Structure 1
Amino acid sequence: MSSAAPRRSDRRILVLGSGGREHALARAFARSPSVAEVIVAPGNAGTHARAGAGRAPIRRVDLPSLSPAEATRLAVRERADLVVVGPEAPLCAGVADALAAEGVAVFGPSREAARLEGSKAFLKEFAARNGIPTAPFRIVRSFDEAARVIRERGAPIVVKADGLCAGKGVVVATTVDEALAAAKDMLVDRRFGDAGATVILEDAIQGEEASVHAISDGEAIFVLPAARDHKRVGEGDTGPNTGGMGAFAPSARVTPALTARVEREILRPTIDGMRAEGRPFRGVLFAGLMITPAGDPVLLEHNVRFGDPECEALMELLEGDVAELCASAAAGALAPGAARVAPGRHALTVVLAARGYPTAPVTGDVIRGLDAAAAVEGAFVNHAGTAERDGAVVTAGGRVLAVTAAGDSLAEARERAFRAAGAIDFDGKVLRRDIGVDGARAAG
């Protein structure tokens, strides 16, 4: 790897991942003045040379796995000036450490810093010792212990597997029996393997969820607008949790005053606490919050990467050199002036999922109408679970597409996104039609 800093227009960025988040990041980097080329690995059917509408081309490269060794070999071979890691699993496995050991700049935390997401028990104990507001909790490691705590505390109660479960290891139990069944599922039946060998039981906090992302170099932070995710598969927040069925940003319910509190009470103590404990956090910190009826922010979870689908909406709000912003954080010298949030701009993402999602998604169905969707003003189709087969784009995962649109109001962004989503068709298409409804009302 060259030790010379890349000139402003020749940066090569490697994005690791295959979802809608990675497609959105690649597009943002392709628009950045400092970038000459964006490489996405392993990518999807949308991450190719025509994927950007930016100044730099986007190229997809196959990658057998996102293991530290495979990712590092690819980064060195492609002479990447910066690697941006999309998903959480490679970060928790130490991909940032492996890249750094080879002298490759990486936007994403070390394995030790990634414990904020990799272990919910670690996060809860970290929050407690750093004075970060979070729900009262107990950590248990056997079903007998879990049953005793559940019966003592009653319901509603939240049952969380300690490790990574692709967004599916959390059950908000409304009855004691439901909580006991969830604990048995994790601790006895080992549905999530070792990830469920430790379980967190915590009080259910009432309120409205919000997602706040902050880019950090380990000390300074650049806070992005608050987003609102919709986790459950069914309209009206019904059905099982998913990786996310849609999102919008900014959220009118998270006022500037509340954002300042989130920064002061949650984000800043996290960044300062991690640095003080010898595991400085560089990358994007994603705080999953509950805003209580009293207006207080409470930390539900920390993630160590961009949310998906929040990222798709957030990238539509940023202007300037997003690549330089991320590269400066990776270098430990955050340049917050490299990019800015476009004033008065709103964005909304609606996820199109495969039939059977989230339990048993069906793949291989031909997707129609992509060009018609892309022709909608202000809209773009971020690919996620897609692949190319016999010249056609087909479904290849649970969340298939993340249709995103921007506008001068949330109502405008919402209308454009759903118009574009309506132009797309594949067998068994699943979507929520209430994404952003409450947000539009609040903004109005």
Structure 2
Amino acid sequence: MQQDSSSLQQSAGGASAADARSRLAADYGRVRALSEQLCEPLAVEDYVLQTAVETSPPRWHIAHVSWFFETFLLRPFLPGYRVFHPRFEYLFNSYYEQTETGFWPRPERGLLSRPTVAEVYDYRRHVDAGMARLLADCADEHWPMVAERLAIGINHEQQHQELLVTDIKHNLAYNPLKPAYREDLPQAPAGDPDAAAYLHFDGGRDEIGADLAAGFAYDNETPRHPVLLRPYRLADRLVTNAEYLEFINDGGYRNPALWLADGWAAVQANGWRAPLYWEPADRAREGDLGSADAWRQMTLGGLRALSPAEPVCHVSYFEAEAFARWAGKRLPTEAEWEAAAAGAPVTGNCVDQGRLHPMPAPARTAGGGLRQLFGDCWEWTSSAYLAYPGYRPPAGALGEYNGKFMCGQMVMRGGSCATSQDHTRASYRNFFYPHERWQFKGIRLAEDQQ
């Protein structure tokens, strides 16, 4: 993903070039270290596994983010840079057609035993050494472009950190042993959820999209533009496991009247009867699954009891939309979500907290307000992923990140328990195909103001 050059210049404010270099160098080191920390619990066998077309092996992720820095920064801007391996450009390119090297097919990333994990880490160290030289020696005339691409690369690696977490979870859940990624991950406190409250928003004329003076933003968050909203209400927290279980118990997965046509087809084709990673407890009998204690949920801490108060997660857009229809509500539009979130502090249960699983909503404060806006689960909206008015994709290979995917996907907002807190914001537009479930995806309900 890419911002245009003006957004980075404005986000730097009045900082000197030396300050900007120092800040970006620190960010680079911090983010690169986190990728490796997230991989520390893995056995070497875990690095090469790919259990679905939409996932990638951890080894591929940690190599691909180095490929990004090598391709878009070191090769064009560091004189005398020697590529680590001449075929890595093909092997670890994701989908950039304009690099002219092609790329190994995504569904087959888990079929390769080489390069070894050790060689991939050697590659990372090689790229890090090159980046240190580039940050120290970059000519002033090249610095604006280097700074822009470095900011993109740092945020790009943060996106792949989230994919690392979710792909590792999918790999471990595929295993009948249900091994834990980390045994020490905290569990949610026992208890039932409080009742959701619905907060009123006046609507009217508003603006959405990134404010380029506020910091980094991807190009698909721009340009900022006016929207006209009718009065609406939003639930002050995410839908919980207990509420979703009511939908299941009421025959939600058996009633075609609740589903979009493509959603009902997905239910039938995939045999969906519950969110991804839910499974009956050993003692539960078929037809006796009406209570939360009859279910278990695969987590990064292993197979655990289903917590009624936790947000339901790992649901597709089709499931979110069907649940909303069953509840007599709807999903918010992305404009409604962003207008409601504008100005809210970007805090929540993010990867920084180390829980790596959605947690129950915090207690409602005296002042009220929306809870769980950031972190816990990405929130499905009813908005198709399309260009904002006036959007133009940037030129060159980096412009391929966002614009060419503006077809057939739906927008999600807010971040998850696997997202870095400094990587999300109110204007952030994530996007997925409506059938996909492996990310931490949840539901916030909306309704028209009567």
Q: Which has the higher strand share?
A: 1
Which structure has more RCO (C-alpha within 8 Å, separation ≥ 6)? 2
Is this a same-fold pair by TM over 0.5?
no
TM-score by length of 2: 0.26
TM-score by length of 1: 0.26
Larger Rg: 2
